[in-house]
Amino acid sequence: MTVWETANGKAMARKLFGTDGIRGTANIEPMTPEVALKVAIAVGQSFRNGTHKHLVVIGKDTRLSGYMLEPALTAGFITMGMDVVLVGPLPTPAIAMLTRSLRADLGVVISASHNPHADNGIKLFDREGYKLSDELESAIENAIEKGPRGRAAPSELGRAKRLDDAGGRYIEFVKQSFPRGRRLDGLRVVVDCAHGAAYKVAPTVFWELGAEVFAIGTSPDGMNINRECGATNPQQMRAEVLARRADLGVALDGDADRLIIADEQGAILDGDQMIALIASRLAKGSTLKGGAVVATVMSNGGLERFLAGAGIGFHRTPVGDRYVVERMRALGCNLGGEQSGHVILSDYATTGDGLIAALQVLASIVEEGRRASEVCRLFTALPQRLKSVRFEGGEPLEARAVKEAVADGEARLGRAGRLVLRKSGTEPLIRVMAEGEDETLVADVVEEICAAVRRASATAGERERPRLRAAE
């Protein structure tokens, strides 16, 4: 089976918004203060009608460029008569929670998640703490194209203030997701905060629940977020687990909405293994709603087989935790996630939360009284290979040679295999994933498709250059 995805999963026409808000290189369009100001004004226009003073919560991670985008967004909302609450560096799920808690109309996160420090992004949450739909994001883009209108009168401008106890509120919120009456006493936990948004709150959560905490990645300087650390680079966390003889390692990404864990032996476990563990625990306690789990097309077939064997349903969505959440809400499920480490537990949160997911893993370890290596690995993953190819221009996935390579790969993988090709929503990349029974064959298929994409991209680039020179 081959799955082809567009850049945005479902919405191809959008120009600014990708799979997770607006994202790009800082100080280069679209990630400039000018665009941020326009976004805030466009969003604010939808709140000009009403009888109350509208409120927006703005949080960010630790990137240097956050200091540039935060005031631009603040100015835009104030221009439209909205009050602004600034909470500083906090995880993305904290902003979703605070938006609901403060009865705000909108939540804004300034973050590029797991990307390098040079990138940044803008994510928007509605008053219920859910990411905006494709339709609302398209409406915002249309409003930007039409230009600002309906600005507030001088006497109706908004105000901005800082919320000093935002971090403490979030810490208590996360701790309440841990089973009542249980503690982490006696457990040694390594926490890699990726020099990101959770560098203060994450170690505190585990320490207050009783664990002995070894925190790394807690010295952000504006440019070291995600650098050789965190969920995308968990080797430093793994080494610390072994050196400290810890019981579990937790590696968060820059905005702490996802995680990767390591057991006491240093084995790295991804989101699929965590979903399997949490689904089993919920099903055992008769609290798995909808009798099913929601994941994306990237989740391993081994997870699907494991869940089927346990009598648990399995639904796939396009890549992006927002699509997982949409399907969970439609099906009435309370567990979903992505292989990359987004785990959504809707009984507690409206979006992926790395800390809440980590506590559910630890709850299983505490309740079963066994080592993480005995608890956390519930299935053997099928051989899977994912590779990204940068492209220069055109639409490589539409090229005949690429489609022929895909058809050949699909035939070689057989009925037990899967192919997923998708255009990144945040970078000029084509992501190629293959899965099957034979590891060598899987690797060969991915390499051949990637080579076809490179050739198609190079050909498109050669055609594009004369046109660009003529335009100059």
Residue 258 is predicted with a pLDDT of 96
Instruction: Quickly list H helices, 102-165.
Output: 134-146
pLDDT tens-place string over residues 62-71: 999 999 999 9
The Cα–Cα gap between 364 and 251 comes to 18
Q: Residue 24: what are its φ and ψ, rounded to 5°?
A: 175, -175
Domain with CATH 3.40.120.10 in the chain: 14-164, 170-375
The predicted model gives 8-18 an average pLDDT of 62
Active-site annotation, residues: 113
CATH, range 14-164? 3.40.120.10
Percent of the chain that is helix, strand, coil (3-state, to 5): 40, 20, 40
Q: Which of 389, 403, 385 is nearest to 457 (CA)?
A: 389
pLDDT tens-place string over residues 76-87: 999 999 999 999
Residue 459 is predicted with a pLDDT of 77
7 near 397, Cβ under 8 Å? no
- What letter represents residue 292's amino acid? A
- Evaluate whether the domain defined by 384-471 bears CATH number 3.20.20.70: no
Return the residue matching tokens 């994933």. Answer: 433
Give this prediction's pTM: 0.91
pLDDT at 466 over 60: no
Q: Which of 145, 154, 30, 3 is nearest to 81 (CA)?
A: 154
The Cα–Cα gap between 75 and 85 comes to 12
Residue 9 is predicted with a pLDDT of 43
pLDDT at 13 over 90: no
237 near 262, Cβ under 8 Å? yes
Mean pLDDT of the chain: 93
The predicted model gives 273-291 an average pLDDT of 97
Least confident of 151-160, 189-198, 458-467: 458-467
Residue 468 confidence class, pLDDT cut points 50, 70, 90: very low
Domain with CATH 3.30.310.50 in the chain: 384-471
pLDDT at 414 over 70: yes
Q: Detail the DSSP E strand segments found in 280-382.
A: 292-296, 313-317, 335-337, 343-345
Q: In angstroms, what is the C-alpha Rg of the chain?
A: 22
What separation, in Å, do the N-terminal and C-terminal C-alpha atoms of the chain show? 44
pLDDT at 48 over 80: no
Q: State the CATH architecture for 170-375.
A: 3-Layer(aba) Sandwich (3.40)
Distances (CA, A) of 273 to 32, 307, 340, 387: 38, 11, 11, 21
- Total residue count of the chain as it appears in this document: 472
